[in-house]
Amino acid sequence: MTWENWTIVSEFILVSFSTLSSELQALLFLLFLTIYLVTLMGNVLIILVTTADSSLQNPMYFFLRNLSFLEIGFNLVIVPKMLGTLIIQDTTISFFGCATQMYFFFFFGAAECCLLATMAYDRYVAICDPLQYPIIMSRRACAQLAAACWFSGFPVAIVQTTWIFSFPFCGPNRVNHFFCDSPPVIALVCADTSLFELEALTATVLFILFPFLLILGSYVWILSTIFRMPSAEGKHKAFSTCSSHLLVVSLFYSTAILTYFRPRSSTSLESKKLLSLSYTVVTPMLNPIIYSLRNSEVKSALRRVIHRTLGPHRL
C-alpha cells in the first residue's frame, strides 16, 4: 500500500461491550461503578491509615502505600472511559487520547510489576535475614527502591507508545477492547510490525516474567526458611506477614501472564477482555480488602485512626 492510499485516523472506536444488550450493559455499568468506587475508597484508606498510624511506619507498609497509589492511577486510566462506553455509549477516543491511555497503562503496569517484586524482596530479607533487615531496608534504601519502581515505567511506556503510534493506520479504527491496549491497536496498523512485536515480547519478558521469577525465587527461600523454624507460632507469624502479598501476586500475575503470553490463536478476543478485567479492574479493588482483612496490624491501626477521628463515644 502506498502512502497516498493511507487514511489518516484521527480517532478510534472502542468496541468495549457493545455487542451486549443495553440492559446487560446497564448492569455492567452499575457493577463496574461500584467496583471503581470501592477501589478508590479502599486504596485511599490504606494510604491514610499507613501514613497516620505510627505503628505502620516500616518498609512493608511504605511499599503497600506506593502500591495503593499505583492502583488508583491504574484505575483512573482505564475505568472512567469504560464506564462512559457503557452508560452513554461514548465509544470514541481521540488519537492522542488513545496514545495517552496506552502510555499510562504501560507506565503503571510496569511500575506495579517491579513494585510487587520489591515487596517480595522486602519479605525475603525480613524473614530470611532478620538481623540485617534494619540495615538492608533502611529508609533511604526503601525510598531508592520505590523510586526505581516508579521510574521503570517510563522507558517501556515511552518506547512502546511512541513506536506504536508512529505506524500508519489505514482506516479501520475499531479497537476490539474496552481500552487502548497494545495488541488490538497494533492489529489496525497497515505496516510490518514484526520488529515491534519482537521488542514488545522482550519488554513483556523483562517487566512481567522476570519480576515474577524474582518473586517466585524469593518465596522459595521464604518458605524453606519458614519450614525450618522450630516453633509453630513462629511459622504462623512469618507466613502471615507475606500471605497477603502472595495472594495479590497470584491474582495479578495469573491473569497478566495468561493475557500476554498465550498465543493469539488460542484465546478469543472476548476471553482476553475478561482476563484484562481481572488485573485492571478487579485486582485493584481486592488489594486493599486483602491487606486489611488478612492483616491484624492494619485492622488495629484502622480502629485506632477511627477512634482518634470520631472519639470513643462515636464508636
Q: For helices 59-87 and 139-164, what crossing angle results, to 10°? A: 30
Cell of 304: 485506632
pLDDT digits (tens, 9 = 90+) for 73-123: 999 999 999 999 888 877 899 999 999 999 999 999 999 999 999 999 999
- Rounded to whole angstroms, the Cα distance separating 272 from 276 reads 6
Three-state SS for 94? Answer: strand
- Rounded to whole angstroms, the Cα distance separating 111 from 107 reads 6
For the chain, helix, strand, coil in percent to 5 are 75, 5, 20
pLDDT digits (tens, 9 = 90+) for 273-283: 888 888 888 88
Q: What is the mean pLDDT of residues 236-240?
A: 78
Model pTM greater than 0.85?
yes
- Rounded to whole angstroms, the Cα distance separating 291 from 142 reads 20
Arithmetic mean of pLDDT over the chain: 86
pLDDT digits (tens, 9 = 90+) for 56-77: 888 989 999 999 999 999 999 9
**Apex CA 241: angle with CA 275 and CA 109, to 5°?**
30
- Rounded to whole angstroms, the Cα distance separating 198 from 177 reads 22
Cell of 68: 495503593
pLDDT at 264: 59
Q: How does residue 1 score in pLDDT terms, banded at 50, 70 and 90?
A: very low
Q: How many helices (H) and strands (E) does the chain have?
A: 12, 3
**How much of the chain exceeds pLDDT 90, in percent?**
43
Three-state SS for 93? Answer: strand
- Any idea what DSSP says for residue 88? S
Domains within the chain, CATH numbers bracketed: 14-306 (1.20.1070.10)
For residue 218, the one-letter residue type is: S
pLDDT at residue 266 greater than cutoff 60: no
Task: Give me the sign of the Cα torsion angle 267, 273, 276, 277.
Answer: negative
Residue 57 or 261, more confident: 57
pLDDT at 4: 46
- Rounded to whole angstroms, the Cα distance separating 175 from 269 reads 11
- Rounded to whole angstroms, the Cα distance separating 106 from 181 reads 9
pLDDT digits (tens, 9 = 90+) for 150-175: 999 999 999 999 999 999 888 788 99
> What Cα–Cα distance (Å) separates residue 195 from each residue in 200, 223, 249?
9, 41, 31
- Rounded to whole angstroms, the Cα distance separating 217 from 212 reads 9
